[in-house]
Structure 1
Amino acid sequence: MSGSPSSAESSAAVRHAVGAVIDPELRRPIAELGMLREISVTDGVASVGVALTIVGCPAADRISADVRAAAASVPGVTGVALEIGVMSPAERRELTERLRGGAAARQMPFTPDTLTRVIAVTSGKGGVGKSTVTANLAVALARRGLAVGLVDADVHGFSIPGLLGLVDADGRVPQPTRIDELMLPPVAHGVKVISIGMFLRRSGTAEPLGAVAWRGPMLHRTLQQFLTDVYFGDLDVLLLDMPPGTGDIAISVGQLLPHAEVVVVTTPQSAASDVAVRSGLVARQTGQRVVGVVENMSAMTLPDGTTLELFGSGGGEDVAAALSAEDQPVPLLASIPLSPLLRTDGDAGTPTVLAHPQDSAAVAISALADRLVASGRGLAGRSLPLRPR
């Protein structure tokens, strides 16, 4: 019929539409990843070939559905015949090289010259809500349009998968997808996450999570693999949920990421704030910069308007003052009120900044995210891609 697109034009339109489908793990168009195969249109039926990265790709159903929808959206297409295949080893090697941007395998991308802002969230002792703050902060940053990665560096006391809802009703935790030597981290609420809890049992089983009884060398190697073998892609912010105290992981992070910024979490009580100062001092000894303090579990406003200071007051300000120097002031970035919802939402795996954004704790964490975004990262010590003309 006059005016109808030719088969070649229809095929090109389908290729364009399908090529724009985003791989949910790699977060890039599938055409850019080399996943498209033969595409043709005959009598209104679009035949589309797609090659997944690996056999058993966990994103297969999502990609198939999105590809069908994209092809069907092209004018003149009345049906879609989808053929799913798998990349060859040579194609996977080419893909991993492309993802690394030409960098050598097992090379850490988060160098001092990286455009990614690296923030380590630490505390002096356990039980101050550091991981809960980190998980909610990561989601709050992602909701502001930033590309966010989160490394659960608390190897012995990992809790990030549960806080972000990556543990299902049977207690299963998804494992990263492997493409040769690269690992693609699971994504929760827009945050790319890696944790040792994803490796402690066989995928798909409901066996109880094991315990990690490792010493320094194994801990260092694990952290190093998280930073080198996990493909986070281009990140605006990489958060590290640090273990409490000043042990092996803190030292390893200081060695691997000396340019990282540090946020110290404490509660108002002196028993926590006194110890929190030490974690900041150790970070500074390794060359890292303490950018601020977060006081968690601060005064809670009761229904009658009175306040309850269950853990006292002033601890955050004391830590900030103790860590401040004349040439490097350390501000109190946020005081997060004690909140029952922060606990119950954490147990449910739904960050409070999403589930109850009007809760006082969620509001404080959102303000913390805004403050960190506004502060930006300095250019000191970074080599910029500029040259005189």
Structure 2
Amino acid sequence: MEKEQILRAIAHILDEESGKPLVQIGLIRDILVTGNHVALTLLLHTEDVLKQTYMRNEIIEALNKAAVSGIHVRIKIIPKDEWDKIVSNRLAPRPLSKASSEALSPILSPESGVQFIAVASGKGGVGKSTVTVNLALALQRSGKRVGIIDADVYGFSIPDMLGMDKVSLTNKSRIVPVEFMGLQLISTDFFVPDNNPVVWRGPMLGKMLSTFLNEVAWSPMDYMLIDLPPGTGDIALHVHQKIPHCAEIIVTTPHTAASHVAARAGAMAKQLKHRILGVVENMSYFQDADQGKKHYLFGRMGGIQLAEELQTKLLAQIPMISVEADASEPADSPSVFHPDTRNGAIFTDLAKQIMQQLSDSESDSASASNSASGQINN
């Protein structure tokens, strides 16, 4: 094992603050190689133990993949001004070229044709992930290529809903999304052992989203759905920074408390200039199978009032169902609705509405662009 091999093995690890590789900006020092054992020093300016642990684990994981068996990573804390001097001396700031940006994140390139749809809610437990999964499957049944990013870091549930339990790597150490019924999926759940809780702060959340966008070997697709955490936290901000053209769907229940807090998620989407495609009201009612009577267990009008407040449309009202009656196969996926069921048909219609809205939006943008071009030429 040579020093150059060590540097190549960790060359992809980025410093979150500068966005540049640790090796490139001089934050990796004192590399000592003895046989198959490696010791090195990482320079940081923060006392944040969580960040120190995260960065140490990133390096150890990369070196393990390079077949290094004995690894010692020393964290050296230096003053911020000294850290700034090291970084600025090693790498003068310069903007990425268009080609470089596309190489880092192909699915974000305009040429990729990917439509991004974030699924948001004001609070947890309203069925946001269920809406994400079934909308994705409905789009896929319509002949579209669909991916899902499970960005609900603290409450990831989509892999469990779909019976997924592992992720593999390509020969180039790029992450390969897991597939289910034609869907591509990546989730924090694949990287957290034994259902352990995730304890990350804002910068780590941004790193996670960047990894899912930049380092996953996504196959070509038409739609990428992003299952956001509930509320108005860091992930929503990172989505705006990295995917400013992302559209949003707001999920609520009819309950006034749920729709009230969902309004904040909608207001944040508007503030960040994200287009709101509409509101989906989940758990709208339970219908008696014998008499057909609807029972409004969580109240009524919550979705309608939310849509009016956000000046958008109510896309769907999804009833509660009996799992035995409407669950799809396999039986252990009760949150996935078969297209022949009542809820499956609702999601088929929802997918059609979403595709039509996004198609109309593309047509309007093209018309506006042609009109502006004509005015300039005249």
TM-score normalised by structure 2 residue count? 0.66
Alignment of 1:186-201 (within 5 A): 186-201=178-193
The one-letter code sitting in structure 2 at the alignment partner of 1:316 is G
Q: Alpha carbons of 1:280 and 1:145: their partners in 2 closer, same or farther (altered >3 Å)?
A: same
The runs of at least 4 consecutive aligned structure 1 residues that moved more than 4 Å come to: 101-105, 111-114, 342-347, 380-385
Alignment of 1:74-93 (within 5 A): none
Whether contact under 8 Å (1:341, 1:359) holds in the other structure is no
Measured in 2, the distance between the counterparts of 1:149 and 1:233 equals 9
Measured in 2, the distance between the counterparts of 1:224 and 1:372 equals 26
- How far residue 376 of structure 1 moved from its aligned partner, in angstroms, is 2.6
Q: Alpha carbons of 1:126 and 1:344: their partners in 2 closer, same or farther (altered >3 Å)?
A: farther
Whether contact under 8 Å (1:353, 1:362) holds in the other structure is yes
Aligned residue for 2:170, secondary structure, equals: strand
1:157 aligned onto 2:144: no
Question: Partner of 1:30 in structure 2?
Answer: none
Question: Partner of 1:36 in structure 2?
Answer: none
- How far residue 245 of structure 1 moved from its aligned partner, in angstroms, is 0.3
Q: Alpha carbons of 1:115 and 1:102: their partners in 2 closer, same or farther (altered >3 Å)?
A: same
- How far residue 301 of structure 1 moved from its aligned partner, in angstroms, is 1.5
| Residue in structure 2 matching 1:300, options 280, 286, 293 | 286
The one-letter code sitting in structure 2 at the alignment partner of 1:214 is W
1:183 aligned onto 2:175: yes
Q: Compare 286-295 and 342-351 and name the one that shifted more.
A: 342-351
Question: Partner of 1:322 in structure 2?
Answer: 309
Whether contact under 8 Å (1:298, 1:311) holds in the other structure is yes
Alignment of 1:9-158 (within 5 A): 105-107=103-105, 109-111=107-109, 114-158=112-156
Whether contact under 8 Å (2:115, 2:223) holds in the other structure is yes
1:247 aligned onto 2:233: yes
Q: Compare 119-128 and 302-311 and name the one that shifted more.
A: 302-311
- How far residue 349 of structure 1 moved from its aligned partner, in angstroms, is 2.7
Whether contact under 8 Å (2:148, 2:184) holds in the other structure is yes
- State the identity %: 39
| Residue in structure 2 matching 1:335, options 312, 317, 322 | 317
Whether contact under 8 Å (1:339, 1:360) holds in the other structure is no
Whether contact under 8 Å (2:202, 2:234) holds in the other structure is yes
The one-letter code sitting in structure 1 at the alignment partner of 2:143 is G
- How far residue 341 of structure 1 moved from its aligned partner, in angstroms, is 2.3
The one-letter code sitting in structure 2 at the alignment partner of 1:311 is F
Q: 1:160-180: per-residue Cα shift (whole Å, max 9, x none)?
A: 1011221xxxxxx11132331
Measured in 1, the distance between the counterparts of 2:144 and 2:100 equals 24
Measured in 1, the distance between the counterparts of 2:305 and 2:219 equals 38
Alignment of 1:338-353 (within 5 A): 338-341=320-323, 348-349=332-333, 352-353=336-337
Whether contact under 8 Å (1:295, 1:335) holds in the other structure is yes
RMSD: 2.8
| Residue in structure 2 matching 1:226, options 205, 212, 217 | 212
How many residue pairs match? The answer is: 269
- How far residue 381 of structure 1 moved from its aligned partner, in angstroms, is 6.5
Aligned residue for 2:133, secondary structure, equals: helix
Q: 1:241-289: per-residue Cα shift (whole Å, max 9, x none)?
A: 1110001111111111111000000000100001111101111211211
Q: 1:278-314: per-residue Cα shift (whole Å, max 9, x none)?
A: 1011112112111100000012210212111001111
- How far residue 234 of structure 1 moved from its aligned partner, in angstroms, is 1.6
The one-letter code sitting in structure 2 at the alignment partner of 1:361 is N
The one-letter code sitting in structure 2 at the alignment partner of 1:255 is Q
Return 5+ residue gaps in structure 2 as ranges.
Answer: 1-98
Measured in 1, the distance between the counterparts of 2:301 and 2:102 equals 48
The one-letter code sitting in structure 2 at the alignment partner of 1:156 is Y
Measured in 2, the distance between the counterparts of 1:108 and 1:218 equals 22
| Residue in structure 2 matching 1:288, options 271, 274, 280 | 274
Q: Alpha carbons of 1:104 and 1:362: their partners in 2 closer, same or farther (altered >3 Å)?
A: closer
Measured in 2, the distance between the counterparts of 1:276 and 1:238 equals 22
Question: Partner of 1:170 in structure 2?
Answer: none
Q: Alpha carbons of 1:221 and 1:163: their partners in 2 closer, same or farther (altered >3 Å)?
A: same
1:369 aligned onto 2:355: no
Aligned residue for 2:186, secondary structure, equals: strand
Question: Partner of 1:71 in structure 2?
Answer: none
- How far residue 353 of structure 1 moved from its aligned partner, in angstroms, is 2.8
Measured in 1, the distance between the counterparts of 2:139 and 2:296 equals 28
